[in-house]
């Protein structure tokens, strides 16, 4: 956990984020089970993570427009690479940045990130806006979870033996963040293939 690691990238990240969302707006996707997620998502990079009735996948195109996702901004790439290197994962070259948007009440149920082919690569996760409680469990869904508070600017680098641990986000508490307003944004950088 790199507390406040993203703060020095702050203005660039937020400007770049605004640009991405203009090209590929947030949308609430459906799970294969037919539920609509409370978290709204978009992506940038050479692939994006998507879910619909047919399943989960990494797609080079935004299904809403059938056009490629917006490119990954240099500030995103630099932040992800520097954070990974800080933890000992040198040369991390993410292909995907999945962008999650939580409004008060939105949550993410326990899941494993296992749609990536190279489980040796870490995931770098950046929190912006309202604080959230991150739930971190074990290798079984039923394992007891630990709770971590993630605040604006915190970066988590996630790899090695924890890579397939179950995790989720508790329902977002209401609040108003001075820069980001009434929301939490999470950027997760991944190597998809
Ligand atoms: C979130 N994050 O923080 C959801 N997954 O909004 C994740 O599901 C996640 O933060 C894998 C690695 C890091 C993460
Ligand atoms: Fe995840």
Question: 125 CB under 6 A from ligand 1?
Answer: yes
How many structural domains comprise the chain? 1
pLDDT at 10 over 90: no
The position carrying tokens 């959230």 is 132
Q: What is the mean pLDDT of the segment spanning 129-141?
A: 97
Dist CA 135 CA 64 (whole Å): 31
pLDDT band at 101 (very low <50, low <70, confident <90, very high): very high
Mutate to test the pocket of ligand 1, among 188, 189, 190, 191 (most ligand atoms within 8 A of CB): 188
Report how far apart, in Å, the C-alpha atoms of 90 and of each of 81, 127, 132 are: 8, 21, 28
pLDDT at 161 over 90: no
pLDDT of residue 125: 97
Q: What is the mean pLDDT of the segment spanning 109-113?
A: 96
Residue 147, domain CATH: 2.60.120.590
Report how far apart, in Å, the C-alpha atoms of 57 and of each of 66, 130, 176, 193 are: 15, 28, 33, 11
Ligand 2 midpoint to CA 110 (Å): 8
Residues contacting 28, CB < 8 A, separation 6+: 36, 37, 38, 39, 40, 41
Q: What is the mean pLDDT of the segment spanning 32-46?
A: 97
Question: 169 CB under 6 A from ligand 1?
Answer: yes
pLDDT digits (tens, 9 = 90+) for 54-73: 999 999 999 999 999 999 99
For 143, the domain range is: 5-190
Percentage of residues in the chain having pLDDT higher than 70: 100
Dist CA 9 CA 13 (whole Å): 6
172 touches 107 (CB < 8 A): yes
pLDDT of residue 61: 98
pTM for the predicted model, two decimal places: 0.97
pLDDT at 171 over 90: yes
């Amino acid at each position: 956990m790199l507390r406040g690691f993203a703060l020095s990238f702050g203005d660039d990240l937020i400007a770049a984020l605004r640009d991405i969302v203009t090209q590929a707006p947030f949308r609430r996707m459906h799970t294969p089970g037919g539920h609509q997620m409370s978290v709204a998502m978009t992506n940038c990079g050479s692939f994006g993570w998507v879910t619909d009735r047919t399943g989960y996948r990494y797609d080079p195109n935004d299904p809403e427009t059938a056009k490629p996702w917006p490119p990954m901004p240099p500030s995103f790439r630099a932040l992800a690479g520097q954070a990974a290197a800080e933890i000992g994962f040198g040369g991390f070259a993410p292909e995907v940045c999945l962008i999650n948007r939580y409004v008060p009440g939105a949550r993410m149920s326990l899941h494993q990130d296992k749609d990536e082919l190279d489980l040796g690569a870490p995931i770098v996760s950046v929190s912006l806006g309202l604080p959230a409680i991150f739930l971190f469990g074990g290798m079984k869904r039923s394992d007891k979870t630990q709770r971590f508070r993630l605040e604006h600017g915190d970066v988590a680098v996630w790899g090695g033996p924890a890579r397939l641990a179950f995790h989720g986000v508790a329902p977002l508490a209401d609040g108003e963040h001075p820069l980001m307003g009434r929301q939490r944004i999470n950027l997760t950088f991944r190597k998809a293939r």
